[in-house]
Structure formats: structure tokens, C-alpha cells
Amino acid sequence: MTDAEHPTASLDETVHQRHRLGILTITSGARQADFSYLRDVLGLTPGNLSTHLTVLEVAGLVRVEKGYQGRRPRTWVSITRDGRAALAAEIDTLTRLARQLNGDPGKGENGDGR
Amino acid sequence: MSGTRPPQVPGNGGELSAADMLAQMRALRRQASSISRAYWLPLLLFGMLICGSMPFYVEPRIVRGVAVYTSAGWQSPYFGGGGFTGSAWLSVYWFIALQAGIAASALWYRWRGYRVGLRTPARGLVVAGVVLIELALLASIIGGRAGYALPGDLTIRGTVPLVLIAVPLWVLAWAERSTALAVIVACYTGLALLASLYDVENIFFRLGWNPSSFGWRLAGLPNVALPALLLLLAGAGAWLAPRLRWRSRRPASA
């Protein structure tokens, strides 16, 4: 097997970082996720989370909206269509990788054998 | 790949195997979906709205063997009117109650989103509900002149609103990606259609309930009570289930 054929070759560094992957995973199941929720669940400092969100926002994978609930500022994060596609590709790659490492070069999680 | 080192996936801030990362993602998704799920309240709400309609389904008093049904007020078959029901206010009740149910559910999801930090995509519920009510209203206006599009068997018991309620609930099941809610709504849809097409009191009569002791005036209530009961039980169960799970996972010393 050459390096080019190996599933790791199709890993996207922007998505693959585990905290950014966590942000995409959480926002893919909800319409919007609050900054505080992401910070608490992922165990990040506000500064770290902001940095990851900026990377994802610049890549067009998430949308960040700032607003207020009463006087309290709230930041809501939602996944974009490109973000969903990138997440699906990442899951597929990870699944293929996990199966290869287990000695089963079968189909991906999407079942299409890509 | 070479060497004896366990297979790892490159990652910043520590290395995790691909299987570990997938497991973490599944756990995050499971946690987010269990926190954001809040369909128990819409189920209870619509169940209570159906219960609130029950007085309007009490049949008119029979005087000298003749039941006097009313055609007064606004009667729309899409909102329960025009059938063998006793009240002139049934259509008005359902017109208001359906809108109130949709609005209250939307407000609930909005409030809960702020509270837990995860917003459910409940916009579909509002859109489906509003479009449905507006179409039913339009069909009522047009139908009054050109004849109603629904078959008489479906409208005669005044339970079309119970069928209408199923539509936003289906949308909610899709929005919440909840198989449990889909199963509940499938059962509810079946009961709502049964209530619209069959006199459910016949089943109760065979089981020993004798509506004649109330002058048959309550004979129509089982058609409404059964779907309401299902929603109330399902709503209570959906509220209780995560709390019981949480309690069972708590350490014994806590």
C-alpha cells in the first residue's frame, strides 16, 4: 500500500483536530450550540475555543452569530453545509482507518466502500 | 505503516486512535441529542389540548327521543365542526388551540435552547403547523362554497384536528432525529385515524362500559380520550425516562 492510498492521506487538518472535530460533531446534531456549552463539554478555555472557532469559520465550516439574551451576550455556533460535508468525509476516513488497523479493509461507515 | 507502535491517528493536543476518536464523537453526539431532546412537553401540551376539547364533544341532550345538533356559529369540518358534535364552539376551540399548541411548543424550544445551550431545529414544527392551519382555514372558506375536499366519514365525528396534530409531531420527530418520538407519533396517527373513522365507544361497550347510563351523551368521548391518553402517557414517559436513567447512573454514595 502506498502512502497516497492510505486513508490518512484524505484527512483534513482543519477538521481532524479533535476539538474542532468535537465542535462540528455537536453542531451537526443541533440547530445552534452556545459558546458556553461547547466550552464546558470540550473542556476548553474561552481563548482556545475562540481560536478553534475562528479556524473553522475562516474555512467556512461553521457560522458564528453573536447576540443577546436580555443583557447577557450569547454566541451561537451552527454548522454550514460545507461543514457537514467535511464532517461526513472525516467520519468516513476515520472509519476506514479504524477498520484497516483492525485488519478489515471493508466498507466505510457510510457503507459505500469509499 | 511500520514498526510495533500501536496505530495512532495524528492529532493536535494528544494522539488518539481512529476508533477512539469515533467513540468520542459518538459520545458527544449522544450527549448533545439527549440534552437537546425536549419533545415531552409538546406531547403533554397537545394531550392536554385534546382533553380541553372534551366538553365540546359531549353530545346534545336528547329531548323526547330527538337529539338536537347545532349548526350555529362557525362550523368547519377541518376544525371539528359540522359533524355529530354538540357544540357550536368546537371549530373555534380547535382553531385557537392548534395555534396555541404550535406557538407554545416553539416558545418552549426557544426557552430551552437558551437554558441548555443547544437549540433544536424546531423551525419546521412552526412552519408545518402554520401552513397546515392556514390551509385548513383556506379550505374551510373555499369548501363552504364549493364543497369540502375531505370524505364525510373522516369529518363526521369532528376529530379531524386530532389528525392535523399528527403532522407537526411528525416534523418534530424528524427535527429531533428521534426514533422513539417517531414510534409514538405513528401510534398516535393510527389512533387519530381510528377515532375519525370508527366509533371507539363500541370497543368500550364490548369491554363493559355502558354509555347509556349518561343518556348516551358521553358516547363520543372515547374517540377523543384515547389519542389524548396516548400523548399524555408518552409525554410523561419521555419526561421521566432520562431522569430515571440519570438516577440509575449516579454513584450509590452520592
Band of pLDDT at residue A13, cut at 50, 70 and 90? confident
Give the phi and the psi of residue B16 in degrees, each rounded to 5: -130, 150
Give yes or no for residue B229 having a pLDDT over 90.
yes
Determine the average pLDDT of the residues in A2-16.
66
pLDDT tens digit sequence for B142-171:
776 555 566 667 777 888 899 999 999 999
Q: Which residue has the higher pLDDT, A21 or B81?
A: A21
pLDDT at A98: 82
Task: Kindly state whether B245 is in contact with chain A, defined as any CB-CB distance less than 8 angstroms.
Answer: no
Q: Which three cell numbers stand for residue A10?
A: 484524505
Indicate the pTM of the whole model: 0.78
Give yes or no for residue B17 having a pLDDT over 60.
yes
pLDDT tens digit sequence for A83-113:
999 999 999 888 888 887 776 655 544 444 3
Task: Kindly provide the ipTM of the predicted complex, given to two decimals.
Answer: 0.75
What DSSP string describes chain B? --SSSPP-B--SSS-B-HHHHHHHHHHHHHHHHHHH--THHHHHHHHHHHHHTGGGGSPPPEETTEE-----S---GGGT-SSS-S-TTHHHHHHHHHHHHHHHHHHHHHHHHHHHSEE--THHHHHHHHHHHHHHHHHHHHHHHH--SS-HHHHTTS-HHHHHHHHHHHHHHHHTT-HHHHHHHHHHHHHHHHHHHS-THHHHHHTT--GGGGTTTTTTHHHHHHHHHHHHHHHHHHHHHHHHHHHHHS-TT-
Q: Which residue has the higher pLDDT, B157 or B219?
A: B157
CB-CB neighbors (< 8 A) of A11 in chain B? 9-10
Q: By percentage, how much of chain B surpasses pLDDT 90?
A: 35
Task: Kindly state whether B16 is in contact with chain A, defined as any CB-CB distance less than 8 angstroms.
Answer: yes
Band of pLDDT at residue B15, cut at 50, 70 and 90? low
Give the phi and the psi of residue B145 in degrees, each rounded to 5: -100, -40
Give yes or no for residue A54 having a pLDDT over 90.
yes
Of B29, B116, B121, the CB nearest to A31: B121
pLDDT at B172: 93
pLDDT at B212: 65
Distance from CA of B28 to the nearest CA of A (A): 6
Identity of the amino acid at B137: L
Task: Kindly state whether A34 is in contact with chain B, defined as any CB-CB distance less than 8 angstroms.
Answer: yes
pLDDT at B11: 45
Query: Are A97 and B18 an interchain contact pair (Cβ–Cβ within 8 Å)?
Result: yes
CB-CB neighbors (< 8 A) of A94 in chain B? 9, 18, 21-22
pLDDT at B5: 38
Q: Which residue has the higher pLDDT, B222 or B153?
A: B222
pLDDT tens digit sequence for B74-133:
778 888 776 666 577 888 899 999 999 999 999 999 999 988 999 887 888 899 999 999
Nearest to B195 by CA among B156, B140, B151: B156
CB atoms within 10 A of CB B132: 18
